[in-house]
Structure 1
Amino acid sequence: MWFAGLILIWPLPLSKWIVNAWEDVNTSFFFFDISFIALIVWFALFAFRVDISPPRDEPLRFNRARQKIYAYNFKYRWWNPFERWRVVPVAYDWSQVRAEAWKQRGATAQGGVIIKWGVMLSIVAPGTNKVIDRFHLSTMGADEHAWAYVCTYMQQGPSALPPPGEPQDPNTVPWYNLALRLAPNVKWPEAMDIESRTAP
């Protein structure tokens, strides 16, 4: 997206537009040009921030001993490139967690169809079904199998599951992914980091 923003900006003949607008005394066209340039600049800023502001990963931690879920939650508003986007780590009781399967259809420019799917974890207010927060568990991946694995771990423990693979460092990114290499590292608050990895 960052490169798309740069491609849109660099060929703009700004000076020619301004000169022509004043020579023709066509102020409505001049203000249209300025508005268009402002829109392109906004898009470039937005594209740049979308690439480098989110952390390298947004991990979830499940603590069976405490019966809690911990989420490295990234908060942003896409329409405001000047707002400070930030990570707000949160913790919820396991009893508040629900799973929602989702599927989304989209059309391509060539007339094809793109289908995306995944599992979203929804957090409900205690004693209600009102959703107060959501996190992605999987996208175009293991789907219900990932949810079944998590449920089995939280309810029965690791002995009921096949041995997990080697843990992956969320800050390890491919060398060729410039956006992820510029993105901030995952760094849990110290107290939450300790709590999420230990028993009460």
Structure 2
Amino acid sequence: MPLFSFEEPEPKLNPPISCWREDMPENHEPQLVPPQLHWLTTLNDTFLEIPRYSTEVAWGGMFVCGVFISIFAIGWGWFGFVMQDGLDGYWMIAMGLMGLMVFSGLALFCLKMYFVQPRDQPLRLNRKRQKIYIYEYKHTFFPWLKWPVTIRSYNWADVHGEICYPGARLDMGYQLFGSVCEPGTNNVIARFIIAKDSRERSSREQLCQIWSYLCVYMQHDQVVADPDSPGRPDDWRPRKADQWPAEMELESTTAPEHAVTQK
């Protein structure tokens, strides 16, 4: 029998998140690290709002693709006119114009994604109601359509924290997820990203601090109002998130007794 034995930690949720690294302490338990946020939008006695960066799109890649496709579209159209010289009919010009229209549409989509589509999908935690609200966009392919907004809400007691580390080149770095389980079980029914950090050494600890902050706040304890990175990150511009729907704005920012008074 060996003198020492070490058991590898195993995920407790079913199913575990892909590329799992660590389970966070339960949100009702004392937290093991000091609470600290990267960024903060609103903090008061009723609700907390933090900005959340959209990770579904490689924003810099969209800009590069948009520029490259724009140049290609112009070159394709010019090539059609040049090749038509000396030929009967206009089929080369038609091909050039058709390609120009198709590639211009793709370039418009990429450039609109970079310059117009909002990147901030905030989270709100209402400690009077003990609920979390997740603001998300439903992506559409057509560049001229506005992305519809969806709001998901869950009981905070059903939310567990998990840290993963995807190995993909474009999505590398530790990520903190909230995993929603069926009440009283470890069976996951939904997941949402809370924060992401691509820095190697300190990022895992910083994500633990973010989880600690959310838990301490929802436990009605005192938290520090100043985040460690004031302002908005440069690559989160050019637009802020759209307004919350009126009904969800009221619910997510008020205590239950306020809603009864309003009725």
Bucket of the pairwise TM-score, normalised by the shorter protein:
0.5 to 0.7
Q: 1:104 is matched with which residue?
A: 166
Residues 143 and 39 from structure 1, CA distance in 2 versus in 1: closer, same or farther, beyond 3 angstroms? farther
* Separation of aligned partners in 1, 2:186 and 2:93: 55
Q: In structure 2, the residue corresponding to 1:151 is in which secondary structure? A: helix
Identity %: 27
User: In the alignment, does 2:245 pair up with 1:189?
Assistant: yes
Residues 45 and 98 from structure 1, CA distance in 2 versus in 1: closer, same or farther, beyond 3 angstroms? farther
Residues 24 and 124 from structure 1, CA distance in 2 versus in 1: closer, same or farther, beyond 3 angstroms? farther
Please show how residues 62-101 of structure 1 align to structure 2 within 5 Å: 62-77=125-140, 79-81=141-143, 84-101=146-163
Gaps in structure 1 of 5+ consecutive residues: 109-113
Deviation at 1:37, TM superposition (A): 4.7
Residues 123 and 51 from structure 1, CA distance in 2 versus in 1: closer, same or farther, beyond 3 angstroms? farther
* Separation of aligned partners in 2, 1:30 and 1:194: 57
* Aligned residue type for 1:91: S
Contact 1:54 1:74 in 2 (8 A): no
User: In the alignment, does 2:237 pair up with 1:180?
Assistant: yes
Q: 2:16 is matched with which residue?
A: none
Q: 1:8 is matched with which residue?
A: 69
Deviation at 1:10, TM superposition (A): 3.6
Say which structure, 1 or 2, has more relative contact order (CA 8 Å, 6+ apart). Answer: 2
User: In the alignment, does 2:196 pair up with 1:139?
Assistant: yes
Q: 1:48 is matched with which residue?
A: 111
* Aligned residue type for 2:118: P
Q: 1:59 is matched with which residue?
A: 122
Moved more, 85-94 or 60-69: 85-94
Contact 1:69 1:91 in 2 (8 A): yes
Contact 1:72 1:89 in 2 (8 A): yes
Deviation at 1:34, TM superposition (A): 7.2
Q: 1:111 is matched with which residue?
A: none
Alignment RMSD (CA, Å): 3.9
Deviation at 1:82, TM superposition (A): 5.5
Contact 1:55 1:185 in 2 (8 A): yes
Deviation at 1:76, TM superposition (A): 0.9
Contact 2:132 2:154 in 1 (8 A): yes
Q: In structure 2, the residue corresponding to 1:62 is in which secondary structure? A: strand
**How many residues are matched?**
184
Deviation at 1:83, TM superposition (A): 5.1
What TM-score results when the alignment is normalised by the length of structure 1? 0.67
Deviation at 1:60, TM superposition (A): 0.8
What TM-score results when the alignment is normalised by the length of structure 2? 0.53
User: In the alignment, does 2:215 pair up with 1:148?
Assistant: no
Gaps in structure 2 of 5+ consecutive residues: 1-61, 198-202, 257-263
Deviation at 1:62, TM superposition (A): 0.9
Contact 1:52 1:184 in 2 (8 A): no
